[in-house]
């Protein structure tokens, strides 16, 4: 369905076309659950109210899964993936409800001439929601916390063993400059949405940035396809009132009138209240985003102990029994890495087994705890000794097994991290 062209140029058109009214009704109903979810998470997240709200969604989605898709029960909720079966059934419900609601609304309210005031406040909510979301993602890139840095595990991993998403994350993690550039595009676009007169410019920037993000998510199989597409659609909706003006200017090479930006109210209390709330909201999110990003950046840049690095498992015992190197359950390599603002351990064996594990270590007590990346919240304590910078002894319990092992650090130079930047290249250095 084409996006609605809601005339807001001066003077305001007294009535909308049928297409504009239908478009507004559909997109309002489509985006309303997302806006409500954002407001709910901000003010009422958690506790009994949050559990009740979640129970309603779970019950409704499971009903829809059984009724329309023959899925007995949907147990996996949104986690690190935003494209779970739960998410897709939710999108189906929202889209279907928006379509049916649009038909009913259009019949019941067919004599309505326009929705100027309704759309004004709807666009305000949509602008601030999209702007805040873009700031959060933008700051995560500006301070290098979304993609982090290339870990030693990635450097040792063969390209053919990477997932498409892993390849994309490695590509982004390689260059802090490119991360910063893409992040600033999201930050600037999001910031411009907070002001009516710069909404069009901000929306155009976000469309450019998010089109690239959506394409990457789809073709590198990143499980944020639904959410990123919704953000892109929201930016298109904000551009819709100016489609004719953009067409006249960029395509038809004709003059176009300036857009009028009337206030909803000219009363002083509204004007100063609007400025105060806007300043408080924008300032708090920018300050909070910068503080969190700076703390993340400080952690990334803090010196790493000799504990970190890639290791070869020299000796491996499970339940006090020596495990043969040919055993498929034996750990072959262990990578202790800092990827951005958090630490992680990656484990591999000779049969292609790979497992990513979160860990927290206490240098003073020579111990750390392991936790499955995706799984239960159970933590597994390990103690370690490090007689020199190249040798590490680990002892602890993982799942139901007691483990003890000797690790030897692997020292290998990598062209990817040592090549650097060159202004002059006499020949293409394409290895």
Check residues 2 and 376 and name the one with the higher pLDDT.
376
pLDDT band at 6 (very low <50, low <70, confident <90, very high): very low
Mean per-residue pLDDT over the chain, rounded: 87
In whole angstroms, what is the distance from residue 1 CA to residue 3 CA? 6
Beta carbons of 204 and 268 less than 8 angstroms apart: no
Q: What's the rounded mean pLDDT across residues 15-32?
A: 94
For the chain, how big is the Rg over CA atoms in Å? 27
pLDDT at 326 over 80: no
Domain at 309-412, CATH class: mainly beta
Q: Which of 21-35, 209-223, 282-296, 344-358 has the lowest mean pLDDT?
A: 344-358
Check residues 270 and 141 and name the one with the higher pLDDT.
141
Coil, strand, or helix at residue 408? strand
pLDDT at 297 over 50: yes
Residue 328: what pLDDT?
73
What are the Cα distances from residue 51, in Å, to 43, 44, 58, 289, 404?
A: 14, 10, 10, 28, 42
pLDDT band at 44 (very low <50, low <70, confident <90, very high): low
In whole angstroms, what is the distance from residue 32 CA to residue 125 CA? 10
Among residues of the chain, what percentage have pLDDT more than 70?
93
Q: Which of 153-157, 270-274, 294-298 has the lowest mean pLDDT?
A: 270-274
Check residues 204 and 52 and name the one with the higher pLDDT.
204
What is the per-residue pLDDT across 385-399, written as a single tens digit (0 to 9) for each?
999 889 999 999 888
Residue 376: what pLDDT?
67
Q: What's the rounded mean pLDDT across residues 207-216?
A: 97
pLDDT at 258 over 50: yes
Q: What's the rounded mean pLDDT across residues 66-93?
A: 93
Q: What's the rounded mean pLDDT across residues 321-330?
A: 80
In whole angstroms, what is the distance from residue 70 CA to residue 42 CA? 34
In whole angstroms, what is the distance from residue 15 CA to residue 98 CA? 23
Residues forming beta bridges with residue 395, ordered by sequence position: 383, 404
**Residue 218 corresponds to which tokens in the numbers above?**
């789809």
Check residues 109 and 11 and name the one with the higher pLDDT.
109
pLDDT at 41 over 90: no
pLDDT at 30 over 70: yes
pLDDT band at 188 (very low <50, low <70, confident <90, very high): very high
Beta carbons of 358 and 341 less than 8 angstroms apart: no
Beta carbons of 318 and 303 less than 8 angstroms apart: no
Q: Taking the domains of the chain in order of start, what are their residue ranges?
A: 7-112, 115-302, 309-412
pLDDT at 267 over 90: no
Beta carbons of 240 and 22 less than 8 angstroms apart: no
pLDDT band at 325 (very low <50, low <70, confident <90, very high): confident
pLDDT band at 225 (very low <50, low <70, confident <90, very high): very high
Strands 309-318 and 321-322: antiparallel
pLDDT band at 265 (very low <50, low <70, confident <90, very high): low
CA atoms within 13 A of residue 201's CA, in its CB half-sphere? 10
DSSP at 337: E
Strands 401-409 and 379-388: unpaired
DSSP string, 350-407: TTS-EEEEEEEEETTTTEEEEEESSS---EEEEEEEEEETTEEEEEEEETTEEEEEEE
């Amino acid at each position: 369905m084409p996006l609605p062209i809601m005339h807001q140029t001066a003077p305001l058109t007294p009535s909308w076309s049928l297409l504009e009214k239908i478009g507004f009704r559909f997109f309002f109903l489509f985006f309303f659950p997302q806006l409500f979810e954002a407001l709910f998470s901000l003010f009422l997240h958690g506790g009994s109210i949050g559990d009740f709200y979640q129970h309603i969604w779970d019950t409704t989605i499971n009903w829809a899964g059984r009724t329309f898709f023959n899925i007995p029960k949907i147990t996996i909720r949104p986690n690190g993936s935003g494209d779970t079966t739960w998410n897709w059934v939710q999108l189906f419900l929202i889209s279907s409800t928006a379509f049916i609601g649009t038909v009913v609304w259009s019949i019941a309210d067919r004599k309505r001439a326009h929705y100027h005031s309704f759309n004004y406040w709807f666009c305000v909510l949509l602008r601030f929601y999209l702007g805040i979301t873009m700031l959060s993602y933008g700051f995560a890139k500006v301070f290098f916390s979304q993609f982090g840095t290339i870990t030693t595990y990635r450097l040792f991993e063969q390209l053919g063993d990477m997932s498409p998403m892993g390849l994309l994350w490695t590509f982004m993690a390689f260059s802090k400059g490119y991360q910063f550039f893409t992040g600033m595009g999201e930050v600037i676009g999001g910031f411009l949405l907070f002001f009516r007169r710069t909404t069009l410019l901000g929306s155009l920037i976000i469309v450019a940035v998010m089109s690239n993000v959506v394409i990457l998510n789809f073709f590198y199989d990143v499980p944020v396809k639904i959410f990123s597409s919704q953000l892109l659609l929201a930016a298109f909706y904000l551009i819709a009132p100016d489609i004719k003006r953009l067409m006249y200017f960029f395509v038809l090479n004709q003059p176009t009138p300036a857009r009028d930006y009337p206030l909803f109210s000219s009363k002083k209390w509204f004007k100063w209240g609007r400025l105060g709330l806007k300043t408080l909201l924008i300032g708090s999110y920018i300050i909070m985003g910068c503080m969190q990003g700076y703390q993340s950046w400080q952690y990334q840049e803090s010196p790493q102990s000799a504990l970190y690095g890639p290791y070869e498992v020299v000796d491996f015992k499970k339940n006090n029994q020596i495990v043969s190197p040919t055993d498929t359950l034996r750990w072959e390599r262990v990578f202790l890495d800092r990827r951005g603002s958090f630490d992680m351990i990656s484990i591999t064996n000779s049969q292609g087994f790979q497992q990513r594990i979160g860990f927290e270590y206490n240098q003073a007590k020579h111990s750390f705890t392991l936790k499955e990346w995706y799984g239960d919240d159970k933590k597994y304590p390990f103690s370690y000794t490090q007689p020199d910078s190249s040798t590490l002894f680990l002892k602890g319990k993982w799942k139901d097994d007691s483990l003890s092992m000797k690790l030897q650090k692997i020292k290998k130079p990598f062209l990817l991290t040592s090549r650097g930047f060159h202004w002059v290249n006499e020949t293409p250095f394409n290895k």
